[in-house]
Structures are given as C-alpha cells and as structure tokens.
Amino acid sequence: MRIGIVSLFPEMFRAVSDFGITGRAVSNGLIELDFFNPRDYTTDRRQTVDDKPYGGGPGMLMKVRPVQKAIQDARKSTGPARVIYLTPQGMPLSQETLGSLSTDSAMILLSGRYEGIDERLIEQEVDLELSIGDYVLSGGELAAMVLIDGLARLLPGVVGDDESVIRDSFYDGLLDYPQYTRPERLEGEDEGSEQSRVPAVLLSGDHAAIARWRVKQALGRTWERRPDLLARQVLDDEAKQLLQEYLREKD
C-alpha cells in the first residue's frame, strides 16, 4: 500500500515508519510512505501556510494553494488514490471502515493544523473525512498515524499471526474476551482469590469449552462496557443463552 501524507510535520511520522509492526511493514516494503509538506509549495520567504479566516474569529486557517499543490503532487506520486482528511468533523473511524480502506492500493492522508482548512479545498480535493473520536487535537498527524496503524494490521504479511487479527476487538462486532498468560496464580495474592488465578477452563485442554467460554466473555464484556455495540448485533439462540449465563454468573 502506498500512502501519500500531506503534513506540516512529516518528522512526526517516524513513530509509525521506524517502530513496531508498522515500522516492519515499511522496512519490508508492504507500506510505502511519501511526504508532502505544504511549506515546500509556498512562494514567500517566510513560507507562510496560514491566514486569517474571512468573517473574523479566533485562530488561523491553512492557505489553499500550498495545501492544494501538495495534494496534487501526492496524486502524481501515488497514482489514482482517494484523499482522506483527518478532522473532528469527519465520520467516526471504525474497524469496518479500516477493512474497506485496506483494499485500496494507495491513498493520500491530509493532516490539518490551526483551525482547519478552507472549505473550498475540502470540496474540490477531499474524498473522505474521518475522525478518530469526539475530541480535538492540535493537528491531524496523530489521527493519520492511528489510521495507518489500524490499516497495517489488516494488510497480508504485516502481522505475524493472521489469526490474531481476526480475534481482535470489533472484528466480529464485539469486544475481545479476557486474556491470560503465565503464571497460573499471581504471587503474593490470596491463594483462594478468584482474581489471582487463571480461569480453570483455560487450563482444561477442552478446546470446545474454551471457545464457548471466550464467546460468553466477549458477549458479557460488550454488554457491560459497550452496550451500543451489542445493540447492533443480531444474536442467535446460542449467543443469547451464553449472555444470560454470563449475567447469572455475575449476579
């Protein structure tokens, strides 16, 4: 996947280009990042990229021409690609959206700064507006990095174990079930305490029972923490029974 990034601070993206799963994806050629800084497309000595908004008000807006030229150059580099503007006014980013975007061979990410970008530029150049949450950041770079990281996990060959991706939260519309590793009992904890021990079913070797327990825990955790997600699900009779079991056990 080739990603063109329009940003005033391209150096921030070292967090995804140099580290972790995304860093390996870049070094292995599975993701290619190209940067286009609007400052490089200014014509004045100070490389001005912002100006006052018409109608008054606080803050500044990014100037149209430098951003537009950066986008146009990005298009030449990536080939046909949709332009995605990271903004609090965009539609919420979801796992479903990530799955749809992961099939694209290229895209251009536009990271805004200041009070945002001239609306005419959005109408002329932007294909999709995305938000990572109902809050405001200093710029779109962090949001773009979130998008890149989420996409990288879905690309073939990026994550070592493909099964770990399909077991992630949200993949099937539910939160993930609880996970445990060694030791079986935490040292210094009350030996009889349920919280100090790994659930017995996970030590049983009964794969069918383990799978059933995990579905039940995923349903219950989603019911407790994200009932809005559960409300979107059409539960079959088995899932309804498991959720009822979870609720009875909690009581």
Active site residues: 88, 115, 153, 168
CA distances from 9 to 110, 113, 126, 163 (A): 12, 10, 20, 35
Q: CA 61 to CA 26: how far, in whole Å?
A: 32
Three-state SS sequence of the chain: CEEEEECCCHHHHHHHHCCHHHHHHHHCCCCEEEEECHHHHCCCCCCCCEECCCCCCCCCEECHHHHHHHHHHHHHHHCCCEEEEEEEEEEECCHHHHHHHCCCCEEEEEECECCCECHHHHHHHCCEEEECCCCCCCECHHHHHHHHHHHHCCCCCCCCCHHHHHCCCCCCCCCCCCCCCCCCECCCCCCCCHHHECCHHHHCCCHHHHHHHHHHHHHHHHHHHCHHHHHCCCCCHHHHHHHHHHHHHHC
CA distances from 27 to 12, 30, 170 (A): 17, 8, 28
